[in-house]
């Protein structure tokens, strides 16, 4: 009897996993419509990428600390969390708080992100200052 119950649970688990996989696939992969021959379309010019500030020390810190794995700046890096224009939206102290995961940022960031940002609290002052200058210049003067 136990073997039958175990086999039934096993099959129900397989059916559940396959069913949930199918639902996930349908929801996250839109149906592909058959291709229709269309009239030639004139090429569209790519949107201009905002220039990255010329703060070399800050750019070096941004690169060396691997910031581009989570953030994009000037079209380079992970586009999920783009930092273009960040200097126009946040003050220098707000930039520091979001960079190090302290202050108001600590309340809004997930625990995983906070753990990752803790290492930036150990940056030497010169490197932190260069990074903050780099980020502040990324969006022009603060409004």
Residue-wise pLDDT for 41-58, tens only, equals 677 666 665 555 557 888
What residues does 73 pair with on adjacent strands?
76
Q: pLDDT value at position 88?
A: 86
pLDDT top residue among 81 and 8: 8
In a 13 Å sphere around the CA of 56, the CA atoms on its Cβ side amount to: 0
pTM (two decimals):
0.58
Of the candidates 105, 103, 104, 97, the residue with the CA atom closest to the CA atom of residue 128: 97
Mean pLDDT of all residues in 94-106: 86
Mean pLDDT of all residues in 68-89: 84
User: In whole angstroms, how large is the CA radius of gyration of the chain?
Assistant: 24
Annotated domain spans of the chain: 56-137
pLDDT top residue among 105 and 141: 105
Is the pLDDT at 30 greater than 80? The verdict is no
pLDDT top residue among 142 and 15: 15
Q: What percent of the chain has pLDDT over 90?
A: 13
Is the pLDDT at 142 greater than 50? The verdict is no
Q: pLDDT value at position 28?
A: 80
Q: What are the structure tokens assigned to 67, written together? A: 């910031």
Does CATH number 1.10.10.10 belong to domain 56-137? no
Is the pLDDT at 106 greater than 50? The verdict is yes
Mean pLDDT of all residues in 126-132: 88
Q: pLDDT value at position 143?
A: 43
């Amino acid at each position: 009897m136990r073997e039958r119950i175990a086999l039934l649970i096993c099959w129900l688990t397989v059916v559940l996993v396959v069913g949930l996989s199918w639902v996930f696939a349908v929801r996250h992969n839109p149906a592909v419509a058959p291709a229709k021959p269309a009239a030639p379309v004139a090429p569209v010019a790519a949107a201009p990428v905002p220039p990255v500030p010329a703060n070399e020390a800050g750019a070096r810190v941004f690169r060396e600390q691997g910031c581009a794995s989570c953030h994009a700046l000037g079209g380079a890096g992970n586009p999920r969390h783009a930092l273009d224009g960040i200097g126009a939206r946040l003050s220098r102290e707000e930039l520091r708080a979001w960079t190090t995961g302290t202050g108001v940022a600590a309340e809004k960031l997930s625990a995983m992100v906070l753990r990752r940002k803790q290492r930036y609290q150990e940056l030497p002052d010169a490197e932190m200052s260069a990074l903050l200058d780099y980020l502040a210049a990324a969006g022009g003067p603060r409004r």
